[in-house]
Structure 1
């Protein structure tokens, strides 16, 4: 880190630094401007590598909170290294400014991406959300909350593939499970109600922002677009219903995620663990060397159980392995390797389906089902969810994967809406255990469905060429 106290800004102009320099960097153009900082595209004199330089004038950092923000931002950026987070290269300063030098993102930001296309296809929104989730998961592992998530702060890199990166940590804070109350931070349109209304807030404010961003990607505008701050505030105070357009063509899973992120009450809002594991996000199965190795280990275990005639365990393990490997097929760009992987997976799929008649572990009179049915008999919503989930089990046993998956999704949606209101006790314990089991079964169903779809051509996304390599 080169903390150069004489960065050598060779220009008297603060608004146009073209052909001037900051330390070893030549300023090329202005690419962004905010209340406290200007962002320049620059390149290093030696290697001509492009960078972005965020320039904060000290005269605008007179307020203690502004000074604290930039100190926190530098501290946070120094510790972060993740492919979905903009990387800080170094920071510099002189008598007038503080400069944060970061990697340059050649695809601009998600805001301009949306403006250009108006509406982003759901499949691409899903890929962006997975990348955003992986970045947020890394931040949560460090107890960091961004507090200013919005499309303009989600930057895009186009090479070697289109990649989303979280940027601008000017309002970020270290927040674990505690709540915090302070000045407004971020952009009101993307700000969680508890923050905008100056109530106690916690890390879940970032998940509200994710919901607003998702809505804007899908429908071309944020759900609370308003003429002024008062109008926006009034909508949030009134807890205005967030409308999802009819016949929008958005999948049930995507709609369910939207509804759960955009809960006015943060206690009812989806939490981070649920968000990361949500079927629409499912970062656990995103292709990586780690998930590939894990899938291979699952296959080894499946074969062992299969040889011992432990068919239930073998079936589950084959399905779990497929769930990890199918994304690798879609991500593989080498035609030869892709075909080889497809062939191997088809063989495992055949064996998995052959095991179904032998997996007689699902019975209508099974003890867990009867216990739950009895415990939930006085609560119609829970009773209905249990019945639907059990019908999904039966469809799976018959090899009707699509119908089984649909039933699992309906049952799980109902349970996840009802469980937060369920008081502690034996019934809740049984429900939580069953919910986890059905989540696993729904994932297995999805893997089996995806295997039947794997040879079909990809969705046509028109002339957006860079999306073809999105992973």
Structure 2
């Protein structure tokens, strides 16, 4: 964008610097207020010549809405100005970028992070809907983050927002197809609840790294939304791929993670056909995970036996290092506890204790044979600890899955 001869518009009170993003009608720049505190802001510069009648109405509605609301989870409009060429919206600056980039750089978000963001988004939407305002263009690109560290979500870009009472209905297409409610996609009338569908799509993308109905056209998107086929997650696709490649350990771990998402869906799905499809998937994943568990257990026993001679040599070489001896003894206790097979949680705790100490000792260990053996031993112990962690989580997921399956049958949801 910043090619030869490029320069941002000029505004008396501000110094405009690099562009933060651009759209059909506007470019957003980072800017500094010239006087006093040198406050950092974001300035949305709208080119008047690019506006048609509908976009002028949208812009006026956006300014009207943002001038009258203040909420910690909605980006603040500080002021607006204009000249012969541009209209300028002077906005709160959000240093954390947008949610789309945040998800993309992390591939997918942990559930606890997604939960916090969703709570903040829900607060912003309730505030808007209580005032009969619908956003109508909710997507990760329009959700900003206050800062890179401990970010607070800020809902932005009200270019398609409308004043809509709960009983109002519209039919004009607004927003981005991948996040549009089915009523819009299918060109039917919609109301203020259209925002709620978009929230669900955003939550899915946060957890799985992409929207649930990725499509190249409206027709394909409509077909996918109308389909009764259960949405497959990337976790399942990757689990199947690893399974086919013969990587039992990775496949086992991925099936376990997939169950963590599918099992709760059994409780909340109300459509009988979709519920039956999810039930079949849960049965399938539990069954395959149990088969893989046998393979992984056998493989890990071989790993333990293979490590024994090297482990004994390392212990012999550690006699002049009391801390190293003590950490290796804790590791031996973890292995013994695991081989007893009675309480994996205790064994996992011992593995974690020993690894915490061994990693510190490795950092201080000079190059040589003992360092090589210590490095190899840490890798073995970490593999064992990860395996145990997966075993514990898999048992929990299987237990939840079987309980959910039984409950869904008891509740009379099985298809006749």
Give the TM interval when normalised to the shorter protein. Answer: 0.5 to 0.7
The structure that is helix-richer by fraction is 2
Give 1:292's aligned residue. none
Check conservation: 2:28, 2:43, Cα contact below 8 A.
yes
Distance in 1, Cα, partners of 2:22 & 2:45: 9
Is the Cα–Cα contact under 8 Å of residues 16 and 30 in structure 2 kept in the other structure?
Answer: yes
Q: Tell me, yes or no, if structure 1 residue 128 matches structure 2 residue 109.
A: no
Structure 1 residue 29: deviation in Å? 0.8
Question: Is the Cα–Cα contact under 8 Å of residues 179 and 198 in structure 2 kept in the other structure?
Answer: yes
Residue by residue over 1:22-65, the C-alpha shift from the partner in whole angstroms, topping out at 9 and shown as x without a partner, is: 2311111111111121111111111221111111111121x322
Distance 1:147 1:200, change over 3 A: same
Alignment of 1:276-287 (within 5 A): none
1:55 aligns with 2:45: yes
CA-to-partner distance for each residue in 1:366-393, whole Å, 9 max, x for gaps?
A: xxxxxxxxxxxxxxxxxxxxxxxxxxxx
Give yes or no for the alignment of 1:185 onto 2:177: no
Q: State the shift of 1:132 in Å.
A: 0.6
Q: Which aligned pairs between 1:251-262 and structure 2 lie closer than 5 A?
A: 255=265
In 2 relative to 1, CA 116–255 (structure 1 residues): closer, same or farther, beyond 3 Å? farther
Structure 1: runs of 5 or more not aligned:
1-12, 265-402, 418-471
Question: 1:9-20 alignment to 2 at 5 Å?
Answer: 16-18=6-8
- Deviations 1:423-470 (Å, cap 9, x if unpaired)? xxxxxxxxxxxxxxxxxxxxxxxxxxxxxxxxxxxxxxxxxxxxxxxx
Summarize the Cα distance change of 1:36–1:139 in structure 2 as closer, same or farther, 3 Å threshold: same
**How does 1:14-413 map onto structure 2 within 5 Å?**
16-18=6-8, 21-46=10-35, 47-61=37-51, 63-158=52-147, 161-238=150-227, 241-244=230-233, 247=255, 248=258, 250=260, 255=265
Q: How many Å separate the matches in 2 of 1:15 and 1:138?
A: 44
Instruction: State the TM-score, normalized to the length of structure 2.
Output: 0.56
Question: TM-score scaled to structure 1, two decimals?
Answer: 0.50
The aligned counterpart of 1:318 is: none
Q: Could you say what the CA RMSD is over the residues aligned between the two structures, in angstroms?
A: 3.4
Can you list the C-alpha shifts for 1:251-299, whole angstroms capped at 9, x where unaligned? 5797479968xxx9xxxxxxxxxxxxxxxxxxxxxxxxxxxxxxxxxxx
8 Å CA contact 1:192–1:208 kept in 2: the answer is yes
Distance in 2 between residues matched to 1:159 and 1:221, nearest whole Å: 21
The answer to whether the Cα contact below 8 Å between 1:36 and 1:57 also exists between their aligned partners in 2 is: yes
Please state how far the C-alpha of 1:121 moved relative to its aligned partner: 0.4
Structure 1 position 178, deviation (Å) = 1.8
Residues in 2 aligned to 1:40 and 1:167: alpha-carbon distance in whole angstroms: 15
